[in-house]
Amino acid sequence: MVGVSQGEEGQPRRELARSWGQGRMLKASKKLGGGAAEGVGAVDAYLAKVPEPARSTLEKIRAAIRSAVPAEATEGLSYGMPAFHHKGALVAYAAFKKHCSFFPMQASLTDAMKEELQGYRTSKGTLQFPVDKPLPAALVKKMVKARVVENESRKAR
């Protein structure tokens, strides 16, 4: 979501897409050392900047994810979005101006669960839902647990 355009004196400048996750948290991650922002504090900072009702929706998604991940899973920002990692990237989520998104980080999962995801807008690796209506917790947990199994089997090879 980063583009290049001509800035002052013909010099290229980076432009960020307008989303709550991308532009605002890029600034926060730079303040934390330039790389991906780490830890629960970075996620809390991200959520604090998201307006209602999207904030409450994402907090419910976060709670559902937390209840499904192994105890040793970590939470932080990845690509400017809240994400969970366990033996690799598990899932991420973000708020945008007109919707929220859940990223299972594996396009095949959205294909495999096509029937259960009817009624939601999907694209390669993304599940979109209204800012005021979180995904059902049972669906989020099922997707997270499937990703945990995928990551654990991949690392065991």
At 123, which CATH number? 3.90.1150.200
CA angle centred on 21, ends 19 and 22, rounded to 5°: 75
Whether 5 maps to a domain, the answer reads no
C-beta separation of 91 from 147 below 8 A: yes
Give the pLDDT score at 108: 85
Phi-psi region of 9 (alpha: psi -120 to 50; beta: other; left: phi over 0): left
Q: Residue 135: what pLDDT?
A: 95
Residue 93 lies in a domain: yes
- The residue among 111, 109, 118 whose CA lies nearest residue 149 is 109
Is residue 50 within 8 Å of 71, Cβ to Cβ? no
- What is the pLDDT, as a whole number, of residue 5? 37
Residue 155's pLDDT is 58
7 within domain boundaries:
no
Tell me the backbone φ, ψ of residue 124, rounded to 5 degrees.
Answer: -55, 105
Residue recorded with tokens 């959205």: 110
Q: Which residues pair with 121 in a beta bridge?
A: 128
Domain membership flag for residue 57: yes
Tokens at 127, concatenated: 């599940």
Q: Which domain holds residue 36?
A: 14-156
The model's pTM: 0.75
> What is the maximum span of the chain, computed from C-alpha positions, in angstroms?
53
Sign of CA dihedral 13, 18, 24, 26: negative
- The count of structural domains within the chain is 1
Q: Is residue 9 part of a domain?
A: no
Tens digit of pLDDT per residue, the chain (157 long)? 333 334 444 444 333 333 444 433 333 333 333 334 578 899 999 999 999 999 999 999 999 999 999 999 999 999 999 999 999 999 999 999 999 999 999 888 888 898 999 989 998 888 999 999 999 999 999 999 999 999 999 855 5
80 part of a folded domain: yes
Any domain includes 58: yes
